Structure 1
Amino acid sequence: MKRKIAKLAALTLCCSLLLSACGGTKSGANPSSGASADGRASISWLNILQTPSPPTDTVLSKIEEATNTDIKFSWIPDASKEERLNTSLASGSLADIVTLTILDNSSVRNALKAGVFWDVAPYLDEYPNLAAISQDMRRSASIEGKLYGVPLQKQVARNGVIVRKDWLDKLGLPVPNTTDELMQVAKAFTEQDPDGNGVKDTTGFMDRSDLVFGAFKTLSSYFGTPSVWSVNEDGQVTPEFESEGYLKTMDYMKELYDNGYINQDFAVTAKTDQQQNFAQGKAGIYVGALFDSKNLLNLAKGIQDDMELVMINGITSTGNESDRAIWSTSNGVGGLLAFPKSEVKDEEELKRVLKFVNDLMSEEVYTLMTYGLEDVHYTIDENKAVTIKDTSLWQQEVQPFAGSRPKESGFEIHDSDPLRKEANRLIEENESFAVLNPLYSLESPTNSEQGSELQKMITDATYKYILGKTDLNGFQQAVQNWRKAGGDKIIAEYEAAYKAVYGK
């Protein structure tokens, strides 16, 4: 009954609300997926705007030429996307393509499960670029086993370790490849005056109050911790914090803290302060997104001009290459490009829109949406390395399209900055040993309602253990409290959902 109600609500048509209210980029298109007067396909797109203002038509006209379409954008500001999408879904004010980046939103999930959007799984392999979407990506982007749109392919695993190479060289230390070696580097950076100022004023790690995007979760990968959940061959579900790897990571972080090898206020440090402190030379190890290296180096200009960084993505706790692992951010799924049946009315129209999305994934269109027009927004050398000519013009005319790319990596054209190029190479390499969340596409009603509140119990207990305010028994008691407060129910719901989709 709930599904029928959701379906009826989502299909109620009142088609002017968002498409008129959000504003659009003019392309002279008829807002349907039919053909325009010049033979181009006319496609409307309800999209998310992640910049202050929509792009001009400069790049849009070239995208239209490359894809043989007339595109009518209706932009929803990122800050209000949840409210606007909820309203749009309830009123049926949709478009041929709807960008859905909040797949955990209840209104979005209900609309997807109610059959408002086309299941595109049977069609992807008819198009070369769509066919290249991996089965892991398709599975992660599915809802109850059905793929209700083309996955927005983000970087699957972008994290690693960034170390001051100039400090390593000064102290005669090699680039660390194991967690033990990394501990020794942290000790040396704390105790051996790597900046040479004669004062004991540096630490090894500079971390922040974030167990996910800070150091903890990346380090936990090196100790074999699963990504959020693990599922055994019998379909039994276990949370990551009940794994041996999680406990080893807590011990590792506790050792860093007890010995002063990490900033002692890490549990209350904001990301901006973490980066500023690193740039000011207060520490030599940063764990986070590998592309943060460029920002750290920029922040250090005029303060630590001798700073040299090395990025590492192959650390293990065992020293064995086969044990390389890194947790994945949302399994690389940034959302869906979904096609409502109310707008895309039959298979012929669906295939026309899918061809358009396939064409968006070409090197030519990726270049337009990422860098803009050659000699207008960027220059390029013989190695296909790009340099932006005018940052302000690029931000106005090109950057708004960046969030609309169905695929963000794997192209030959690249940034000319050596540090950014190396970061992208390592991030792409990460994909081959990324640890995915096996339950990412599944649903637990209890987790949707109570998950954040329950997770706070584990987060607090983890910090208390690292800071020496509780012991292992105290942490394990917190886990039992989590189970009693709703964790057992979450596990049971996920196990049922996993069995329903995968038959285990």
Structure 2
Amino acid sequence: MRKKMTYTVLAVLLASVTMLNACSDNSTNNGAANNATNNGGGNNEATNTGNGNADSGKAEPPLQELNFPDAFPPVPRAVDQSSYAYDDMSKSYDLDIMVSGSFNQSVPEDKVKEFLEKQFNVKLKFTSMNADDLKNSVSVRFASGDEPDMVMMPVKDVALSLYNAGQLLDGKEVLPYMPQAMQYVTKEYKNWATTKDDQLIGVPRYSVFPDNWAYFIRQDWLKEFGMSMPTNEDELFAYAKAVVEKDPNKNGKADTWLMGAAGAGNGWSMMDALKTMYGHPSWNEQDGKINHPMLDGTTKQFLQFVKKLYDNKLLAPDWYTIGWEPFKAYSLNDQIGLVWYPGWNIVQEQYDAKKKDAVAATLWEPLNPLKSSDGKGGMYGPGGNPGGLFIFSKKLQDDQGKMMRLAHMLDTMIYPNQNYWAVSQGGGPEIFPDDSMVKLNDDGTNVFFIKDSHISKVKPEYQSLADWQFFGYTLIWQVYDDEPVGVTGSKWNQQVIAMPRYKNFDMNLTLDGPTSQKLTDFQNKNEISFVLGKRSFDDWDAYVEEWKKAGGQKLIDDAASQLGVEKQ
């Protein structure tokens, strides 16, 4: 079994951004794309050169019409590299690009930057900083007239402000030159990034992480209790009672419980998704009117169920005050029967906690979305959020060649184009052929492995090479082939991704940030009182009115207006 970088470490690398991959010329085109083909059935199109055609005189974009798909392609394929014939590679350009990174430090020798500059005949100014600093820096640079050519913005708010100020290029002017990215700009993504005058504030991109969070249950305990997988709140409660009363860890102690919030006293965290048993957990539309879980009883029913668990002593002793990491002392030591987790992570962490006992990788299995006793629910919360968007300075309007070069370079970094892996996780096979491996599978998934000998892992001063990855990298199609963790974890990830989810209305909302935060703080402070019995559910209607006065009504009005529905 190969030893892989843990998903937890990878999550740190991916906290705010996406990966760049560079383009290969004729002399060096034997890296990740060829490795993918040589290691098991990749797409041969990914091995074509990406240098454009300087002699063809072609400047027409490969996409004459923008046809936004309903969904991502079922099997992602790299576009033919002749799509970039519009780009005259004999011309050189200076490109100023920015991204939100994780390490954000200079490196002694930036091999990724050198690789990109050579392949694309450019001189790059690359700036990486944390998300808050990026928002501030981008705003200042645009205000001072020193704007970058392109920014990968992880959120939409600053991008929308800049677009409304007339400082950004309409994304529809760039997207025709990005045929790979176009495959992932779905109708929903397009609507998310479209202004009232039907222009794109940028080019949306897929998220880094897949929708692979779900409830995981101890399947071995279910078998011991003679129970099937719970399908509704009553069956879940029966399982919870068995976990507490039947000593499933066989130590003769009363030290097993259903679950905990693990939010360090600040909200419901691990328990929040139980809300989906009773209805949509966020803003939504119902019968042509705006709706919210506070308005239709969803939040109330959720809190009543949590109180039922609490009153019956089915939750861990410090279930509300304990934080996520300390809670693992329970969940990974046979004391908890239900957790909210990404599939791969729970398998890996349990396997490590049990000193790599193969049986440990089989203890947890994903639970399909539960229903309420009256048949509501049956779906997890909305997924499919964009991973941000590429925004382009309006000054590129005056330099068509520069805009096309930038579009060309970025597009080859989108999955699974020929340079997608080149700068992944600090540099893939094109840059560090002895320290990384790629396998592109026939079903469009890939196995990507960085060895412990990779410079970004051996020398801490090179960790920031990973910040280049935050333009195009994603885990949506990445799988693992090591036994038993990789195979099982990948299986659970794919199973969870396929589970039904509520429609995502939040994607098309831009609500006031301070008001939203104030309302979150208000709910975190007050809702625990209902569970602990300090406030009666007879006061619920009065509480909803307090919620409205605390900012809820303002958000109701704004959400209704933005979604084009009636107010409640």
TM-score bracket for this pair, using the shorter chain length:
0.7 to 0.9
Distance across 2 between alignment mates of 1:108 and 1:128: 22
Name the residue aligned to 1:373.
428
1:493 aligns with 2:558: yes
Distance across 1 between alignment mates of 2:492 and 2:267: 20
* Paired residues for 1:445-456 under 5 Å: 447-456=512-521
Distance across 2 between alignment mates of 1:194 and 1:175: 16
Name the residue aligned to 2:168.
117
Distance across 1 between alignment mates of 2:354 and 2:166: 53
Among 498, 501, 508, the residue aligned to 1:434: 501
Deviation per CA, 1:102-139: give whole Å up to 9, x if none.
434xx554223222112214653664322222111222
Contact conserved, 1:367 with 1:413, CA < 8 A, in 2?
no
Distance across 2 between alignment mates of 1:87 and 1:494: 30
Shift of 1:201: 0.8
Shift of 1:140: 2.6
Task: Decide whether aligned partners of structure 1 residues 379 and 461 sit closer, same or farther in structure 2, where only a CA change above 3 A counts.
Answer: same
Name the residue aligned to 1:17.
none
* Paired residues for 1:102-251 under 5 Å: 102-104=155-157, 108-121=159-172, 124=175, 127-132=178-183, 133-144=185-196, 146-154=199-207, 155=209, 157-209=211-263, 214-226=269-281, 228-232=282-286, 234=288, 236-251=289-304
Shift of 1:159: 2.0
Task: Decide whether aligned partners of structure 1 residues 476 and 213 sit closer, same or farther in structure 2, where only a CA change above 3 A counts.
Answer: same
**Structure 2 SS opposite 1:360:** coil
1:267 aligns with 2:320: yes
Among 460, 466, 475, the residue aligned to 1:400: 466
Distance across 2 between alignment mates of 1:121 and 1:468: 55
* Residue identity in the other structure for 2:368: G
Higher RCO (C-alpha under 8 Å, 6+ residues apart):
2
Shift of 1:498: 3.1
Deviation per CA, 1:306-362: give whole Å up to 9, x if none.
634334252221699996422236x52232211011345355544443333222113
Distance across 2 between alignment mates of 1:129 and 1:95: 23
CA RMSD of aligned residues (A): 3.8
* Residue identity in the other structure for 2:256: T
Contact conserved, 1:151 with 1:406, CA < 8 A, in 2?
no
TM-score by length of 2: 0.70
Name the residue aligned to 1:480.
545
Shift of 1:279: 1.9
Name the residue aligned to 1:13.
none
Distance across 2 between alignment mates of 1:311 and 1:320: 25
* Paired residues for 1:309-388 under 5 Å: 309-312=363-366, 314-317=368-371, 324-328=378-382, 331-343=384-396, 345=398, 349-363=402-416, 364-370=418-424, 372-374=427-429, 375-379=433-437, 385-388=447-450
Name the residue aligned to 1:7.
none
Task: Decide whether aligned partners of structure 1 residues 44 and 203 sit closer, same or farther in structure 2, where only a CA change above 3 A counts.
Answer: same
Task: Decide whether aligned partners of structure 1 residues 111 and 52 sit closer, same or farther in structure 2, where only a CA change above 3 A counts.
Answer: closer
Shift of 1:428: 3.4
Deviation per CA, 1:174-203: give whole Å up to 9, x if none.
343444333332222211111111111111
Name the residue aligned to 1:4.
none
1:84 aligns with 2:122: no
Distance across 2 between alignment mates of 1:67 and 1:325: 46
Distance across 2 between alignment mates of 1:83 and 1:207: 34
* Residue identity in the other structure for 1:91: S
Task: Decide whether aligned partners of structure 1 residues 127 and 477 sit closer, same or farther in structure 2, where only a CA change above 3 A counts.
Answer: same
* Paired residues for 1:28-107 under 5 Å: 38-39=90-91, 42-51=94-103, 53-54=105-106, 56-62=109-115, 71-78=124-131, 80-104=133-157
Distance across 2 between alignment mates of 1:99 and 1:382: 26
Name the residue aligned to 1:282.
335
Which stretch shows the higher mean deviation, 122-131 or 91-100?
Answer: 122-131
* Residue identity in the other structure for 1:411: W
**Structure 1 SS opposite 2:390:** strand
* Residue identity in the other structure for 1:424: N
Task: Decide whether aligned partners of structure 1 residues 376 and 186 sit closer, same or farther in structure 2, where only a CA change above 3 A counts.
Answer: farther
More strand by share: 1
Which stretch shows the higher mean deviation, 411-420 or 127-136?
Answer: 411-420
Distance across 1 between alignment mates of 2:250 and 2:468: 43
Which stretch shows the higher mean deviation, 339-348 or 456-465?
Answer: 339-348
Task: Decide whether aligned partners of structure 1 residues 71 and 427 sit closer, same or farther in structure 2, where only a CA change above 3 A counts.
Answer: farther
Distance across 2 between alignment mates of 1:467 and 1:75: 45
Distance across 1 between alignment mates of 2:267 and 2:382: 11
**Structure 1 SS opposite 2:394:** coil
Name the residue aligned to 2:42.
none
**Structure 1 SS opposite 2:205:** strand
Which stretch shows the higher mean deviation, 395-404 or 283-292?
Answer: 395-404
Distance across 2 between alignment mates of 1:326 and 1:65: 46
The alignment of Structure 1 onto Structure 2 pairs a total of residues equal to 460
Among 498, 510, 524, the residue aligned to 1:443: 510
Distance across 1 between alignment mates of 2:221 and 2:562: 50
* Residue identity in the other structure for 2:474: E
**Structure 2 SS opposite 1:287:** strand
Distance across 2 between alignment mates of 1:136 and 1:158: 20
| Structure 1, unaligned runs of 5 or more | 1-26, 28-33
* Residue identity in the other structure for 2:471: R
**Structure 1 SS opposite 2:201:** coil
Task: Decide whether aligned partners of structure 1 residues 221 and 129 sit closer, same or farther in structure 2, where only a CA change above 3 A counts.
Answer: farther
Distance across 2 between alignment mates of 1:166 and 1:390: 34
**Structure 2 SS opposite 1:443:** coil
Name the residue aligned to 1:23.
none
Shift of 1:272: 1.3
**Structure 2 SS opposite 1:163:** strand
Identity value in percent: 18
Distance across 2 between alignment mates of 1:353 and 1:180: 56
Distance across 1 between alignment mates of 2:177 and 2:243: 55
Task: Decide whether aligned partners of structure 1 residues 126 and 354 sit closer, same or farther in structure 2, where only a CA change above 3 A counts.
Answer: closer
**Structure 1 SS opposite 2:337:** strand
* Residue identity in the other structure for 1:422: K
Which stretch shows the higher mean deviation, 186-195 or 485-494?
Answer: 485-494
